[in-house]
Amino acid sequence: MATTPRVLTVRTREIRPGDPLHAPDLLELLPDSRPSRDGSVDGSVDGSRADGATKDMSLSWVSHGDGLVGWGEFARIDTAGPDRFADADAWWQRLCTRMEVDDEVRLPGTGPVAFASLAFDDRPGRSALVVPEVVIGQRDGVRWITTIGRDAVSKPVAPIRRPGPVRYSDGRLPATSYREVVAEAVRRMRGPERISKVVLAHDLLATTPEPLDARFLLHNLSRRYPNCWTFAVDGLVGATPELLLERNGDRVRSRVLAGTSWPRDGADDDLLAKELLDSPKNRDEHAYAVESLAETLRPYCDTLNVPEEPHVLHLRNVVHLASDVSGHLNEYYARNGHASLLRLVAAVHPTAAVGGTPTADAVRLIGELEAMNRERYAGPVGWIDGDGNGEFGIALRCAQIQPQDDPPGNPAGDSGSGPQSGPSEGSTVRLFAGCGIVADSDPDEEVAEAQAKLLPIREALEGVR
């Protein structure tokens, strides 16, 4: 389903020093975009949604202070199934041909922009591309505002209210069952199953007595995880350390993560890093993930640089093995429009960082053993511009704010066995975390690793400073 207005005027202007929109952190410019009781959205120019759903409308992709924030909904497409990338790409390209663009800044992310969040799996799961009415961006010290459709201006920023004490309950796959699922995967991998790695996840529900404002999470996450990409698209909010793919002209870049350790028994960060680099199990997990990305990206590139050795990425909650892969698109793909970022993302998703090796068998095993709908967790999330440039991360360390008309337990949402309806005033949120499993994984360790990965989003919900 798509909504596409007729008037398509896009204007990008630089915001110069001295302008009130220049100084603050990008996220501080986001107005309150929770739906109000009458269905309108505070802060958007026209907050009505074609399908009448009430979702948090904050849009964000911010890392180290640079990135994009957006609000209002000028147009959107909701899609699903194996053709979700192609549908979204075709819709976006069509929409862009109908736009009159007046862009005085001309950087990646200026002119028309769509924020996107795509389902992990071909089925089930819903995907969305949202074209905001207002985008404010920053790159290398240059700040700009883009208005789409009309001369919308920024709205007064309403204060962020705390959502109140958080209550947790089991989702579709509680941690205790997750242990069993991991143990079963290990049994199969040691037995006849020809799978080298599978990434299994579980979920957790959280409810808040007051409605949750995505900005409450975004501010906390970006302050505590500045080297992650703090995102919000269509109610999916998180801070991912993993860059699936960035395209800037004919250059592409990815940060592949796999192999994790976390603080325990007083071990300091340097010791954790050394253990991780010296661990054959973690090195194997990492190699599968890098190889899957490189194999699917290589046909599009004339050069692809894959580091021989991973480095260690330090976050507050965990350390990861990381490889920064970069490439140059070959002439054919770069010039003929065959390599829009959405098409490239479709080619590389899911890498073995969130799927497994071999991909198709691992994804089948995930469906069988998890037996839950991941929705957009572990799917691609990010933004794309009118030239096919943009950035997509893997939606990790995140939570889906359930729309109030789609409470958990609803078969379409398929989100859990917890409360059968959302709280009447507050919010229900679904959190996810997962781990790469190989034949010598220890189920107890994997459960502990998943808990460590849940910390950032749990602490953001609880307002831990």
Ligand X SMILES: C=C(O[C@@H]1C=C(C(=O)O)C=C[C@H]1O)C(=O)O
Helix ranges (DSSP H) in 163-279: 175-190, 214-224, 269-277
197 is catalytic: yes
Contact between 259 and ligand X per CB under 6 A: yes
Question: Between vectors from CA 142 to CA 250 and to CA 60, what angle results, nearest 5°?
Answer: 75
Amino acid at site 178: Y
Residue range at the interface with ligand X (CB under 6 A); choices 252-260, 269-277, 329-337, 341-349: 252-260
Tell me 398's DSSP state. Answer: E
Q: Which amino acid is it at 459?
A: E
**What type of residue sits at position 356?**
G
Query: Which 331-360 positions form the footprint of ligand X (CB under 6 A)?
Result: 353-354
- How many Å apart are CA 152 and CA 325, to the nearest integer? 39
- Of 465, 404, 451, the C-alpha closest to 429 is 404
Q: Which is nearer to ligand X, 173 or 353 (CB)?
A: 353
Site string for ligand X, 396-415 (x = CB under 6 A): xx------------------
Query: Quick one: the chain helix, strand, coil %, rounded to 5?
Result: 25, 30, 45
**Binding-residue total with ligand X (CB under 6 A):** 18
Residue tagged active-site, from 242, 246, 370, 391: 242
Examine the residue annotation and report whether 242 is marked as an active-site residue of this protein.
yes
Give dist(CA 24, CA 263) in Å, integer: 34
Q: Which residues contact 181 (CB under 8 A, 6 or more apart)?
A: 173, 200, 202, 369, 370
CA 305 – CA 285 distance, rounded (Å) = 20
> How many other CB atoms are there within 10 angstroms of residue 78's CB atom?
19
Stretch that binds ligand X, among 21-29, 33-41, 161-169, 258-266 (CB under 6 A): 258-266
Nearer to ligand X, 150 or 283 (CB): 283
CB of 256 closer than 8 Å to CB of 293 = yes
Site for ligand X in 425-444 (CB under 6 A): 433-436
The residue among 213 and 246 lying less far from ligand X, judged by its C-beta, is 246
Query: Cα separations (Å) of 44 from 6, 34, 49, 210?
Result: 19, 10, 11, 21
Q: Which is nearer to ligand X, 288 or 300 (CB)?
A: 288
Q: Tell me the window of 6-14, 57-65, 180-188, 257-265 that interacts with ligand X (CB under 6 A).
A: 257-265
The reply on whether position 453 binds ligand X by CB under 6 A is yes
Determine the residue type at 454: L
d(CA 205, CA 173): 10
**CB of 271 vs ligand X, minimal distance in Å:** 18
- Smallest separation, CB 438 to ligand X (Å): 9
Cβ 236 to ligand X shortest distance, Å: 13
Nearest-Å Rg of the Cα atoms of the chain is 21
Cβ 449 to ligand X, closest distance in Å? 7
State the catalytic residue, choosing from 55, 155, 197, 453: 197
Contacts of 266 (CB under 8 A, 6+ apart): none
Site string for ligand X, 40-69 (x = CB under 6 A): ------------------------------
Binding of residue 258 to ligand X (CB under 6 A): yes
123 C-beta neighbours (distance < 10 Å), count:
11
Residue 142 phi, psi dihedral angles, 5° rounding: -100, 130
Nearer to ligand X, 221 or 433 (CB): 433
Stretch that binds ligand X, among 3-11, 70-78, 251-259, 400-408 (CB under 6 A): 251-259
How near is the Cβ of 152 to ligand X at its closest, in Å? Answer: 36
Q: Indicate the residue among 193 and 445 with the shorter CB distance to ligand X.
A: 445
Give min distance, CB of 383 to ligand X, in A. Answer: 21
Considering the complex, state which of residue 302 and residue 445 has its C-beta at the smaller distance from ligand X: 445
CB atoms within 10 A of CB 225: 21
Q: Show the site string, 201-230: x = touches ligand X by CB under 6 A, - = not.
A: x-----------------------------
- The interface with ligand X within residues 266-285 (CB under 6 A) comprises 285
Least separation in angstroms between CB 308 and ligand X: 20
* Site for ligand X contains 34 (CB under 6 A): no
Q: How far is the CB of 435 from ligand X (least distance, A)?
A: 4
The torsion defined by the Cα of 177, 183, 187 and 189, in degrees rounded to 10, comes to 100
User: What span, in angstroms and rounded, lies between the C-alpha atoms of 276 and 318?
Assistant: 11
Q: Give me the residues that bind ligand X (CB under 6 A), please.
A: 199, 201, 242, 257-260, 285, 320, 353-354, 396-397, 433-436, 453
- Active-site residues: which are they? 197, 242
